[in-house]
Amino acid sequence: MEIITQIDKAKNGDQTAFTFLLNFYWNEVYGFMLKRTENETSAEDITIETFSKAFDKIASYNPEFQFNTWLISIAKNVHIDLLRKKKSSLFIEITDREDQKAYNIADTTPSAEDELITEQNLSQLLRYIKELKPHYQEVIQLRYFQEMSYQEIAIAIDEPLSNVKVKLLRAKKLLAEIIRNRR
**Domains present along the chain, CATH in parentheses:** 2-90 (1.10.1740.10), 109-182 (1.10.10.10)
Q: Residue 65 carries which side chain, given as an amino acid letter? A: F
Average pLDDT over residues 133-143: 90
pLDDT category, 84, cuts 50, 70, 90?
A: confident
Please answer whether residues 29 and 50 qualify as being in contact, where contact means their C-beta atoms are separated by less than 8 angstroms: yes
pLDDT at position 152 is 92
Contact call for residues 167 and 135 (beta carbons, < 8 A): yes
CA dihedral 58, 62, 64, 65 (to 10 degrees): -60
- Looking at 47-56, 64-73, 86-95, which range is the least confident one? 86-95
Q: Check residue 32 and report its DSSP letter.
A: H
pLDDT of 50 > 90? The answer is yes
